[in-house]
Each structure stands twice: as structure tokens, then as C-alpha cells.
């Protein structure tokens, strides 16, 4: 079995005396994996990436690449390349010169450089712009040059720091697919930093969610989305209702309105205050006289707002627990609509909820 592409062990980064950018991160990224570091700005994900690249050194801890300890090695001695957020293309060089830079530095033979540069430019469909300056290219093209400039070196690990952040939505979505395909083709380990949860969910094999310097949860996209282990992760990824309840028994809890509901069993003690995380699409509205599926929770609520999104309807409902609850209903043919002020039952399967730490 091959060694993990990147291993971080107890990595902490302090700036000065009071700023702790990264707190004791342990992380293993497998070989050939598309791994995303996801979190809000300032969560330490970029600092983590910079420590892997060698632009920053950890205050404590160890960074290994395919088993080799990186220590205080400068970036030029690491088998890693980076695609920068701002692309950082050399403005005084042509596209081809930009792409050839790394190969020249590695003293690759001239004819070989030419062959590899033209091949990678072909891959990113920029062969025709080889002699252009970066400033003459659109944002999307610059992005592809940055990608080509890194990939041409065939690094063991490719780091990407919000590479699609500056692109508009359509182009970003197209590039997401392209990047994911590309990663599959070249088989290089990608570590992808983003604050866009949708991007992380669609592209990654696994995701690590960071907040305030700590790595909170690592898992496949589905695990992160369906089974968040903390309030932060639940709240950060996608839309979610966070409902404070008091445990009543191992499988039941009481809402603040006093109504008893079923919750997934998780060993929480009766009397404990916990937070229930419920995705809006796991909730449904039923008429007051309609039959509900067996074993489902049923709470009476009043519709306070209805928003039309085209493919879905979003409802805000008041179930008498202080906070409004969001419900997402698919816009199927014949879907029953509820008007503002109308009463309905809020229905969900107890197993669809997650008990997270408050």
C-alpha cells in the first residue's frame, strides 16, 4: 500500500503571541484523493495549505509528504505545486513562459520542456494563446494557465487555494466539473481550499471542515452533509434547522413548547440539553386531516412565509418553539401549496435528524 500523500500531525501555527491560526490539526490525505478543506474565511484553511506548500512553517507539529518529513524545507524543495487564489501569473512572461517556468527551474531538457508545455496547453485548450501575456487573457483563461503551470510539473500533490473564487457562477460550475475530471485523469492528489460548501460537496472525495483553527470533522461529502457531528458543521454546510430540545429518554425529547418528539438514539441522557439538526428537505408539510407515515414526528405549525425558488418552495413555519423552521418542498406537478397563515403539520422521520453538540 502506498503511503498517504500528506500527513499532518499535531500541526499548530501561531502568529505572534496571541493569534493561533491553526490548532493541533491531525489529518491524513490519501494518495490520489480529491480532498477539500472547507471553512469560513479566517478559519485557518489557507494557513494549513501554506504550511503544506512550505510558505509558512508550523510552530509545532509535523508535515509529511508520502512519508517524507518536510521540516523546514523551502517550497522549491517540496514535490508540491500550488494554484494560487489570485493565479499569481508572471505578468512579464508569456503564457508558454509561465507554464515552462517550473520545468526550466528543474533543469528539464529544452526539447522536453517544449513538448510538455505544448501538451499541457493543449489539455487546457490554450495552445492558441501560448504567446499571449496573462493580462490579455480572461479570468477563466488565466485560471487555466495557472492550472497548467502547476500540472506540467507533475507534482505529487497539487494544492489549490480557492482557485475558482474570482470566476462568475456559470464559469465556476463548468470549471468544477473540468477540475474534477482532470484530477481523475492525472491521478494527482488534490488538496482544495474553499469556503464554498457546494463546491466542496460536489468535487471532493473527502472534506475536512475547519473553524477557528480547528479541524472539526473529516468525512465523505455525504457524511459531512447527512451526519454533522457539531453544530458548526451542521450550520455551515447547507441550510439547516437547529432546534434546542431536552432529552426525555434514549429515543425521545421534548421541544421548548413541551411537545414530545422522537429522536435518533445516541446515548444521550434524559434531561440533557441537545441540539437537533434537521435539513429543510427532510421536513414536509401535511394537511391537518391527512394521514402521516407511521413512526414520524408530527408538530402543528403555522406558515409565516412562502418563497418560490423555481425548482423548490421554501416555507418558514412557526411551530411555537421560538425560532422559525424552514421547510423545503420540491416543486412537483400537483404539489399542494400552503398559504401564509394556514395551519399544517410539520412531519419528519426521527432518524433524519441529527443530535449535535450545542
Partner 1 sequence: MTAPPLAAEPETTAPITPELERAAIKAESRRGFLISLPAFIYLALLFVVPLLLVFVYSFATRDATGLTVLDDWNLESYKRLFTEIVLEIFVRSLLLAVVTTAICLLFSYPFAYYIATRSPGLRNILLIFVMIPFWSNFLVRTYAWRVILGSEGPISQISLALGGEPIRLLFTNTAVLIGLVYGFLPFMVLPLYAALERMDWRLVEAARDLYADGWTSFRKVTLPLSMPGVVAGSILVFIPSLGAYVTPAILGGAKTTLLGDYIVSQFLAARNWPFGSALSFAVMFVMLLATIFYFRAGAKTL
Q: Name the residues that contact partner 1, by CB under 8 A.
A: 53-55, 74-76, 80-82, 84, 86, 88-92, 101-102, 105-106, 149-150, 153
> To the nearest whole angstrom, how small is the minimum distance from the Cβ of residue 258 to partner 1?
57
* No. of helices (H) and no. of strands (E), the chain: 8, 20
Q: Do strands 80-83 and 241-247 pair parallel, antiparallel, or not at all (unpaired)?
A: unpaired
Nearer to partner 1, 135 or 269 (CB): 135
Structural contact between residues 297 and 348, judged by C-beta atoms closer than 8 angstroms: yes
Q: Do strands 252-254 and 260-262 pair parallel, antiparallel, or not at all (unpaired)?
A: antiparallel
CA 337 – CA 339 distance, rounded (Å) = 7
Nearer to partner 1, 43 or 103 (CB): 103
Nearer to partner 1, 151 or 209 (CB): 151
Closest by CA position to 90, among listed 134, 136, 139:
134
Burial of 42 (0-12, 13-18, 19+ CB in 10 A): middle
**Neighbour tally for 303: CB within 10 Å:** 19
> To the nearest whole angstrom, how small is the minimum distance from the Cβ of residue 50 to partner 1?
9
> To the nearest whole angstrom, how small is the minimum distance from the Cβ of residue 167 to partner 1?
18
Nearer to partner 1, 153 or 229 (CB): 153
> To the nearest whole angstrom, how small is the minimum distance from the Cβ of residue 99 to partner 1?
10
N-to-C CA span, the chain: 40
> To the nearest whole angstrom, how small is the minimum distance from the Cβ of residue 306 to partner 1?
45
> To the nearest whole angstrom, how small is the minimum distance from the Cβ of residue 25 to partner 1?
21
Nearer to partner 1, 55 or 286 (CB): 55
The helix or strand, by DSSP H or E, that contains position 28, with its residue range, turns out to be strand 19-29
Structural contact between residues 63 and 51, judged by C-beta atoms closer than 8 angstroms: yes
Nearer to partner 1, 81 or 197 (CB): 81
Amino acid at each position: 500500500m502506498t503511503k498517504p500523500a500528506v500527513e499532518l500531525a499535531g500541526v499548530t501555527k501561531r502568529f505572534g503571541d496571541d493569534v493561533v491560526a491553526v490548532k493541533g490539526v491531525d489529518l491524513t490525505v490519501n494518495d490520489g484523493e480529491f480532498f477539500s478543506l472547507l471553512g469560513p474565511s479566517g478559519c485557518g484553511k489557507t494557513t494549513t495549505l501554506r504550511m503544506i506548500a512550505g510558505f509558512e512553517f508550523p510552530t509545532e507539529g509535523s508535515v509529511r509528504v508520502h512519508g517524507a518529513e518536510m521540516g523546514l524545507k523551502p517550497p522549491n524543495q517540496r514535490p508540491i505545486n500550488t494554484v494560487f487564489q489570485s493565479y499569481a501569473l508572471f505578468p512579464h512572461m508569456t503564457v508558454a513562459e509561465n507554464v515552462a517556468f517550473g520545468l526550466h527551474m528543474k533543469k528539464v531538457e529544452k526539447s522536453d520542456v517544449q513538448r510538455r508545455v505544448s501538451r499541457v496547453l493543449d489539455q487546457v485548450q490554450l495552445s492558441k494563446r501560448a504567446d499571449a501575456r496573462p493580462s490579455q487573457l480572461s479570468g477563466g483563461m488565466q485560471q487555466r494557465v495557472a492550472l497548467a503551470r502547476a500540472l506540467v510539473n507533475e507534482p505529487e500533490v497539487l494544492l489549490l487555494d480557492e482557485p475558482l473564487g474570482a470566476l462568475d457562477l456559470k464559469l465556476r460550475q463548468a470549471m468544477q466539473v473540468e477540475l474534477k475530471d482532470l484530477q481523475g485523469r492525472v491521478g494527482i492528489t488534490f488538496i482544495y481550499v474553499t469556503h464554498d460548501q457546494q463546491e466542496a460537496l460536489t468535487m471532493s472525495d473527502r472534506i475536512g471542515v475547519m473553524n477557528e483553527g480547528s479541524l472539526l470533522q473529516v468525512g465523505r461529502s455525504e457524511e459531512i452533509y447527512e451526519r454533522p457531528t457539531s453544530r458548526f458543521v451542521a450550520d455551515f454546510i447547507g441550510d439547516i434547522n437547529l432546534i434546542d430540545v431536552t432529552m426525555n429518554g434514549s429515543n425521545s425529547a421534548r421541544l421548548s413548547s413541551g411537545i414530545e418528539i422522537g429522536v435518533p438514539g445516541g446515548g444521550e441522557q434524559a434531561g440533557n440539553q441537545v441540539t437537533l439538526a434537521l435539513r429543510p428537505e427532510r421536513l414536509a408539510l401535511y394537511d391537518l386531516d391527512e394521514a402521516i407515515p407511521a413512526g414520524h414526528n408530527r408538530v402543528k405549525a403555522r406558515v409565516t412565509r412562502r418563497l418560490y425558488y423555481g425548482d423548490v418552495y421554501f416555507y418558514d413555519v412557526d411551530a411555537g418553539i421560538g425560532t422559525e423552521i424552514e421547510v423545503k418542498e420540491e416543486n412537483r406537478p400537483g404539489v399542494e401549496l400552503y398559504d401564509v397563515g394556514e395551519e399544517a403539520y410539520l412531519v419528519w422521520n426521527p432518524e433524519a435528524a441529527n443530535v449535535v453538540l450545542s
